[in-house]
Structure 1
């Protein structure tokens, strides 16, 4: 191709490489405490074959470490208030139980990352006695909780202390080497200095074999530290759309910024639910109402890796307690639940159609122009001869939409799934019921 006299090649912003196994992956957050009435690694492991059939590839385990007693909230406390980063919480099982769970996950050709809480610890972490200088202090010299939040059951580390950095990196190394985990989900990653994450990644993962997820939303995290970050803004936007506070036009603006300002090889995690949203803001049904299925379908098909939270595969209406025991109420036949079957089909499409791959490996979200911009979202993603089209009514009222551009440049497409299981034809004129949608695929 003639690139012209003034062609200026752009340098890739993202310097790290992604593990090959994450390119077509979906991720699933496991709340071990609430997953079963036992709340143990062993009891959860019985669900692994089902999760394999569901199609999720990466399992993210919420913190597996012992929980503090001092200033504990509720009966069981927050799993993010840790007394020892080097130990396994005996309430969940033994060291061997944890190792067996990791082995069982790997035997199913699945991968596992664990929650890593670097920013803070419980008040009764032994480090408060052996290394009190590793912690931030208030003006009167006492240990400091994270300011402006109600996180008074934890106290913050001071990452200006080089010995703390070495301790934290060695603790992370322990789980990579002893248990053979595949990476980390790093809690409130933006509260920890970015140069620590660069240091940890360089020391622990120089060959980029592991997967690193940041609970944060900043492009700088992607250059050399993290494979994926949270799409928090998208989640807030979709919740507002479900409640009719914002509209499809706002979503167009989000996608425009995503396509043009976010690095093309940086992955965003798309979600409707996670442990924070579920515990503090209510269940997905409470937050999204009748729009939930439509918006969940979109998170599975748009650019980014979709996240499912424990119970979401059966459309659970529970808002799980965070500090107390509150087991998920599973149906008798989980695998035959309509939502489980629906997700299984869409996750299979996600994993098998190259247009939906993660990072720069998949197709960008291309707008399909139409005459209902404030009410309808329509886009296609294409990777050579592979293509997926998503069109949805983002209002509760029935609507007729007229496409304003031909799609004959795309590969042949057929209906994959629709909201009412009707035989929607991809034509110039389309009709949808409230929150109706259709997915077409080549």
Structure 2
């Protein structure tokens, strides 16, 4: 008995030494089954700590619609403050059951090739290399849920696809996606092919991760498997087109803040007041781990193509909404052309050029992105400061909060109403000396300070 006890103690000590944990700490952990562990267990790549993201619509970006033509815009995007370039799908597009004359990006005919309309594989590699040389990163939009009807896999591996009640290929049920057909993720060989295809682009073109289309339609264990495989090649960044905490635990760094967009839209349309924005953050910030990064936006290809322009959706509230998406917890997104005041719906299945020009929206984003890069309070996930609400006397019109990290601090006050507001505050965390971001004037916030905020206006105080 004594020999067995000694052997058990020795094994415990060796285990603890191997894991760099002291014996008392290991014993305490073993004796407390309720010891909390981090919900988000994946390791974010270090380069996303203060990153911004930009969605690239190659087809509509230039008259040529090529990788090489888009590459000419990289210096401008770098000056704008863009860090991550998310390219909408770059693969050949299916012709069978195609929508429009040139089809949907999301009808993939070949997962290991580039759309010849965009250029060659070497052109794409050169784009990635140029972005890397400028300190930017590139992720690809990945369509794992479905393919084009004429993808060669339909001939070589028809069993990899789901079937309807008649045994025929089928689009995703209940959606008007007639140009694509669904994969069957119960098939392990299909999973292997899809995972290896994702590995291919990281190895072959040195991309930095993926945006996963309709990520929630696909089993989480597939994404968790893929994340491990990709991270074994290089640290990657993964964005889920979905809104679910569970996707963050082992698979995704970031997911969409769909509800924030919709809440801001409802406020702009007069259906709700600013208290709805407080309610959104009250639920989200309490329910989600802070290291589960949300992507904040006022526009993207789905919203622009199917729900009108950012001006139609937000009207006079647009600048205020942009300020919130860039200063709240999360990573801000720009969609192609927003910085040029994109004021038209871009056709999704046809050529439809963005009109490039100088615009105040671009200046606004550049100012906000410069602040995000420099001020740790606005950094992403646990690198940045938590949002702390600052109650005010006009809570149905004005949202106010502080974020603070190390010596950096930001106090944000936004008037989400069509009337001027005289605002006082009921907290003390906001007190101090600041410089207002847009006017660059020094400002001291005191206990009895009162701010006059014109309709739709905002102030960002920086310390």
TM-score bin (small chain): over 0.9
Match of 2:11 in 1: none
Deviation for aligned residue 1:297: 0.8
Match of 1:322 in 2: 348
**Structure 2 portions without partners, runs of 5+:** 1-31
Match of 2:417 in 1: 395
The 3-state SS of whatever aligns with 2:342 is: coil
Are positions 1:406 and 2:428 aligned together?
A: yes
Equivalent of 1:417 in 438, 443, 451: 438
User: Do 2:433 and 2:442's aligned partners in 1 also have CA atoms closer than 8 Å?
Assistant: no
Are positions 1:382 and 2:404 aligned together?
A: yes
Equivalent of 2:225 in 189, 194, 199: 199
User: Do 1:385 and 1:411's aligned partners in 2 also have CA atoms closer than 8 Å?
Assistant: no
Equivalent of 2:385 in 336, 357, 363: 363
Are positions 1:341 and 2:363 aligned together?
A: yes
Are positions 1:91 and 2:123 aligned together?
A: no
Moved over 3 A (4+): 421-427
Deviation for aligned residue 1:405: 2.4
Equivalent of 2:39 in 9, 13, 19: 13
User: Do 1:18 and 1:208's aligned partners in 2 also have CA atoms closer than 8 Å?
Assistant: no
How far, CA to CA, are the matches of 1:254 and 1:21 in structure 2?
A: 28
Match of 2:96 in 1: 70
Are positions 1:39 and 2:61 aligned together?
A: no
The 3-state SS of whatever aligns with 2:433 is: coil
Match of 1:3 in 2: none
Are positions 1:154 and 2:180 aligned together?
A: yes
Are positions 1:211 and 2:237 aligned together?
A: yes
**Structure 1 portions without partners, runs of 5+:** 1-5
How far, CA to CA, are the matches of 2:43 and 2:301 in structure 1?
A: 28
The 3-state SS of whatever aligns with 1:277 is: helix
Within a 5 Å distance, the mapping from 1:126-165 to structure 2 comes to 126-165=152-191
Match of 2:4 in 1: none
How far, CA to CA, are the matches of 1:89 and 1:258 in structure 2?
A: 39
How far, CA to CA, are the matches of 1:425 and 1:346 in structure 2?
A: 21
Match of 2:85 in 1: 59
How far, CA to CA, are the matches of 1:84 and 1:197 in structure 2?
A: 20
Which one scores higher on RCO, CA 8 angstroms, separation ≥ 6? Answer: 1
Deviation for aligned residue 1:433: 1.2
Point out the structure with max Rg over C-alpha: 2
User: Do 2:433 and 2:443's aligned partners in 1 also have CA atoms closer than 8 Å?
Assistant: no
Deviation for aligned residue 1:102: 0.6
The 3-state SS of whatever aligns with 2:295 is: strand
How far, CA to CA, are the matches of 2:412 and 2:419 in structure 1?
A: 19
User: Do 1:144 and 1:155's aligned partners in 2 also have CA atoms closer than 8 Å?
Assistant: yes
Equivalent of 1:227 in 238, 250, 253: 253
Within a 5 Å distance, the mapping from 1:278-289 to structure 2 comes to 278-289=304-315
How far, CA to CA, are the matches of 2:428 and 2:248 in structure 1?
A: 36
How far, CA to CA, are the matches of 1:9 and 1:104 in structure 2?
A: 46
How far, CA to CA, are the matches of 1:325 and 1:385 in structure 2?
A: 49
Deviation for aligned residue 1:341: 2.5
Count of residue pairs the alignment pairs up: 430
Cα RMSD of the aligned pairs, angstroms, is 1.7
Q: 1:272-295: CA deviations, max 9, x gaps? A: 100000000011001100100010
Match of 1:433 in 2: 454
Q: 1:321-360: CA deviations, max 9, x gaps? A: 10000010112xx4xx433222211101011100011001
Equivalent of 1:311 in 337, 348, 356: 337
Q: 1:103-157: CA deviations, max 9, x gaps? A: 1111101000000000000111111111000000000000010111111110000
Equivalent of 1:186 in 180, 195, 212: 212
Q: 1:170-191: CA deviations, max 9, x gaps? A: 1111100010000000000000
Match of 2:300 in 1: 274
The 3-state SS of whatever aligns with 2:323 is: helix
User: Do 1:116 and 1:187's aligned partners in 2 also have CA atoms closer than 8 Å?
Assistant: yes
How far, CA to CA, are the matches of 2:242 and 2:300 in structure 1?
A: 14
User: Do 1:313 and 1:343's aligned partners in 2 also have CA atoms closer than 8 Å?
Assistant: yes
> Which stretch of structure 1 is more off in the superposition, 58-67 or 237-246?
237-246
Match of 1:255 in 2: 281
How far, CA to CA, are the matches of 1:59 and 1:411 in structure 2?
A: 37
How far, CA to CA, are the matches of 1:212 and 1:175 in structure 2?
A: 14
